[in-house]
Copies of this chain bind each other. A is one copy, B any other.
Amino acid sequence: MATNQEEVKLLGDVRSPFVLRVQIALDLKGIQYKFLEENLPNKSELLLRHNPVHKKVPVLVHNENPISESLVILEYIDDTWKQNPILPSHPYQRALARFWSKFIDDKIVPAAWKAVFAVDEKEREKNVEESYEVLQFLENELKNDKFFGGEDLGFVDIAAVFIAFWLPIFQEIGGFQLFTSEKFPKLYKWSQHFVNHPVVKQNLPSRDLLVAFYKSCYQIVFG
């Protein structure tokens, strides 16, 4: 628990799934923190100083120590505050959690992004198909548990927030059917459990805000 001696700040933007990962993890641990909303077209001096390499949110600042990259931040949170662990305790299960979280960042997010922001319908079809293929790997990973981590929300669940909340918005904007209960029954069911978990629910940004924002991105690109 953050004591009076501790200062925890999060530089973020509520429209970012990577920022939401950190918000969920901090809340699961019961850590009080100050959320500093960045205006990304006009980055703060604080952001540039704390993340000179990528100049991106999220940045967690714990007692003046800045940490960037959302999965690195999740590891830090779990290393620092031991209550309600988000990584499993067994090394092999930890490795699997890290593997799938990396897979989400390396394969699923870029594929879905390309599916929305495709230059034409042919390109979109190809990218939707590619997204379908990579999502299928994750579908197969879900057993009959509520979450990837079993009965409790864990590392992979938090990493997968993009799939549960952003992907449905992306397909609405892009006008394609990808992440549906017919195509991904287990993953879809997981997403419902996920967005209704009390800690997730209280941190989700407004759906309308996201739709409006990403629609405007889309329109700027495609007119």
Partner of A79, one of B68, B72, B73, B91: B91
Contact B53 A137 (CB under 8 A): yes
- Taking CB atoms, residues of chain B closer than 8 Å to A65 are 92
Contact A76 B91 (CB under 8 A): yes
Question: Is A201 positioned at the interface, with any CB of B under 8 Å from its CB?
Answer: no
- Taking CB atoms, residues of chain B closer than 8 Å to A102 are 69, 72
Partner of A92, one of B69, B76, B91, B96: B76
Interface size class of A (residues with CB under 8 A): 20 to 34
Copies of this chain per assembly: 2
Contact A79 B103 (CB under 8 A): no
Contact A79 B94 (CB under 8 A): yes
Digitize A5-18: 1 where CB-to-B-CB distance is under 8 Å, 0 elsewhere: 00000000000000
- Taking CB atoms, residues of chain B closer than 8 Å to A94 are 75-76, 79
Listed A/B pairs (17) with beta-carbon separation below 8 Å? A65-B92, A67-B92, A69-B98, A69-B99, A69-B102, A72-B95, A72-B98, A72-B99, A72-B102, A73-B95, A75-B94, A75-B95, A76-B91, A76-B92, A79-B91, A79-B95, A80-B91
List the 3 closest pairs (A to B, CB-CB), nearest first. A79-B91, A76-B95, A80-B91
